[in-house]
């Protein structure tokens, strides 16, 4: 799956339920709910697994309920957002509607906003660059972009995004013109942002599918530009 690189390996390895202990010929468990067999379980990891087991045993949760929720995450990928952006680039009427009625348009396009959060769509232009952060934690449009990357959740991004956004963008490879105004928007649990990056030049007449390939995840967070044609 080509989107794997955007998830930090989220779907790279098979899910193994914590209670399903497989044993080798010597009776030793060889599946491991932690990161690696030789790492062991940290305190909070073991307590999370313990809570899940107890909730299932008490009948508070169904046996496969969490596993099914994990499966559902495979539907939440950056190509969802990329499709919306590409359609907006290709169709001015769709872009107008996406900007004016973002949540309705997201839902009509077949996506379900996470815990019914509101959505705002912001367009980057020659004059204005929007960049998204969640200074308090990690709020993010997961229905459109998947789980947030580690750097989005890091202390350094959360701190620096609001004080030196140009420098942060520069670290991501985006050098803005001095005249371009920078607007940093702070997400919260009830409101998530999707950025429409600037459409690369030389893409006139491209199909939505072709355009969507240029819409990388970071450009929809506003820290990077869309991919230039021929450089992917």
Tokens 């993010």 belong to which residue?
140
Residue 40, by phi and psi: left (phi above 0), alpha (psi -120 to 50) or beta?
Answer: left
Cα–Cα distance list, 118 to 43, 161, 190, 218 (Å): 35, 22, 6, 21
Tokens 């004016």 belong to which residue?
100
Which CB, 49 or 120, lies closer to another protein?
49
Stretch in the footprint of another protein (CB under 8 A) among 85-93, 118-126, 162-170, 191-199:
162-170
Look at strands 181-186 and 118-123 and give their pairing. unpaired
Q: Does 220 interact with another protein (rule: CB under 8 A)?
A: no
Tokens 């819409």 belong to which residue?
215
Residue 148: count other Cβ atoms within 10 Å of its Cβ: 19
Q: Does 65 interact with another protein (rule: CB under 8 A)?
A: yes
Number of residues that bind another protein (CB under 8 A): 69
Which CB, 86 or 133, lies closer to another protein?
133
Q: Does 109 interact with another protein (rule: CB under 8 A)?
A: no
Q: Which residues bind another protein (CB under 8 A)?
A: 7-10, 12-13, 15-16, 18, 21, 29, 32-35, 37-55, 60-61, 65-67, 69-70, 72-73, 115, 133, 135-138, 147, 149-151, 153-163, 168, 171-172, 186, 189
């Amino acid at each position: 799956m080509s989107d794997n690189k955007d998830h930090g390996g989220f779907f790279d390895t098979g899910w193994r339920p914590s209670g399903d202990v497989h044993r080798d010929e010597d009776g030793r468990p060889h599946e491991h709910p932690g990161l690696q067999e030789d790492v062991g379980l940290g305190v909070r990891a073991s307590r999370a697994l313990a809570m899940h087991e107890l909730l299932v045993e008490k009948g508070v949760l169904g046996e496969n309920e969490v596993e099914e929720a994990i499966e559902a995450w495979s539907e939440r990928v950056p190509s969802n957002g990329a499709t919306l952006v590409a359609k907006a680039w290709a169709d001015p009427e769709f872009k107008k509607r996406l900007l004016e009625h973002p949540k309705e348009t997201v839902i009509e396009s077949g996506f379900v906003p996470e815990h019914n959060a509101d959505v705002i769509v912001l367009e980057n232009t020659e004059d204005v660059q929007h960049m998204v952060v969640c200074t308090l934690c990690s709020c993010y449009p997961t229905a459109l972009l998947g789980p947030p990357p580690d750097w989005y959740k890091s202390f350094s991004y959360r701190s620096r995004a609001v004080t030196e956004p140009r420098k942060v963008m520069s670290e991501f490879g985006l050098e803005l013109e001095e005249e371009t105004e920078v607007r940093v928007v702070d997400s919260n649990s009830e409101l998530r942002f999707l950025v429409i990056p600037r459409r690369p030049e030389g893409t006139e007449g491209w199909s939505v599918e072709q355009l969507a390939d240029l819409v990388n995840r970071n450009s929809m967070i506003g820290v990077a530009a869309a991919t230039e044609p021929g450089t992917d």
